[in-house]
C-alpha cells in the first residue's frame, strides 16, 4: 500500500464524517455489536479512510488471547450469523466488488484483523476528551433551561453526537429531554442534519 502525503492525510481527517469517528472508536474497542449496526460498504469505506490517513493498520502477528476469544465467541454467535446473512442479501454485486477492491488496495484478506496506530489512538483520545466536555456542557445548559445556548452547542457538536452515544458518554433519556427544553422535534432535527449519521438512533429508543 502506497503512503500518502501529510497534506493529503490532513485533508482526509478534516473531511471525516460522524460515522468515521464511530468506526475509529469501534475499531479501538473491538465493539463488534456497534459494527454490525453499520452498513458493510460504509464500514469498509470508512476503514479505507482510516488506513489512508495513517490511523489504522493491519494487525501484526496474533491478537491477544482475550481479544481472540472475544472475536471467536462473536463469530459463533447467532447475531453474527444473522448479520452475515443480512449483509449478503443487502449488498449488490457492485457493492461487493467495491469492497473487494478496497481490501485489495489495503492488502487485506477477509478475516485479517486491523488495529489503530499510535496516531489513531491519540486522535481518538482527544475526541473522547472533547465529547465528554461537550456532553457535560449540554447537561449544564439543559439544567439551566438555557434553550438558546443549548441549541447553539448541539449544532456545534452535531458531527460528534453519534460518537457520544456509541462510546457510552451520552444517554437517550437526557438527550431527549434537551429537545423538550428547546421545544424542537428531536427526530425532525436529526433527520434534517446531514452531519449526524443515524447509527445512534438505536441507542435512544
Residue boundaries of the structural domains of the chain? 6-122, 127-203
How many Cβ atoms sit within 10 Å of the Cβ of residue 2?
Answer: 5
Averaged over 119-138, what is the pLDDT? Answer: 97
Which helix or strand (DSSP H or E) is residue 58 part of? strand 56-58
Q: Do residues 26 and 166 lie in contact, with contact meaning Cβ atoms separated by under 8 Å?
A: yes
Residue 169 binned pLDDT confidence (cut-offs 50, 70, 90): very high
Percent of the chain with pLDDT over 70: 98
> Please, what is the average pLDDT of the chain?
92
Angle, helices 172-182 vs 147-156, to 10°: value is 120
Residue, of 61 and 18, whose pLDDT is higher:
18
Q: Do residues 77 and 50 lie in contact, with contact meaning Cβ atoms separated by under 8 Å?
A: no
Cell numbers at 98, concatenated: 467495491
pLDDT above 70 (res 1): no
Residue appearing with cell numbers 481490501: 103
Q: Do residues 119 and 13 lie in contact, with contact meaning Cβ atoms separated by under 8 Å?
A: no
Averaged over 68-76, what is the pLDDT? Answer: 92
pLDDT above 90 (res 62): no
Residue 73 binned pLDDT confidence (cut-offs 50, 70, 90): very high
How many Cβ atoms sit within 10 Å of the Cβ of residue 183?
Answer: 8
How would you classify the pairing of strands 114-116 and 56-58? antiparallel
pLDDT above 80 (res 119): yes
Which pLDDT tens digit goes with each residue over 135-154? 999 999 999 999 999 999 99
Amino acid at each position: 500500500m502506497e503512503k500518502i502525503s501529510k497534506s493529503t492525510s490532513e485533508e482526509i481527517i478534516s473531511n471525516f464524517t460522524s460515522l468515521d469517528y464511530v468506526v475509529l472508536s469501534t475499531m479501538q474497542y473491538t465493539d463488534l455489536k456497534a459494527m454490525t449496526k453499520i452498513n458493510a460498504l460504509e464500514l469498509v469505506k470508512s476503514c479505507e479512510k482510516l488506513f489512508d490517513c495513517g490511523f489504522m493498520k493491519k494487525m501484526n502477528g496474533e491478537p491477544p488471547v482475550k481479544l481472540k476469544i472475544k472475536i471467536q465467541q462473536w463469530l459463533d454467535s447467532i447475531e453474527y450469523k444473522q448479520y452475515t446473512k443480512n449483509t449478503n442479501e443487502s449488498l449488490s454485486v457492485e457493492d461487493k466488488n467495491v469492497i473487494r477492491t478496497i481490501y485489495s488496495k489495503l492488502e487485506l484478506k477477509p478475516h485479517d484483523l486491523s488495529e489503530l496506530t499510535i496516531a489513531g489512538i491519540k486522535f481518538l483520545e482527544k475526541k473522547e476528551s472533547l465529547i465528554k466536555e461537550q456532553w457535560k456542557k449540554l447537561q449544564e445548559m439543559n439544567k439551566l433551561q438555557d434553550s438558546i445556548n443549548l441549541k447553539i452547542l448541539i449544532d456545534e457538536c452535531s458531527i460528534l453526537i453519534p460518537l457520544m452515544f456509541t462510546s457510552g458518554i451520552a444517554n437517550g433519556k437526557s438527550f431527549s429531554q434537551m429537545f423538550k427544553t428547546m421545544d424542537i422535534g428531536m427526530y425532525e432535527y436529526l433527520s434534517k442534519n446531514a452531519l449526524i449519521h443515524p447509527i445512534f438512533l438505536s441507542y435512544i429508543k
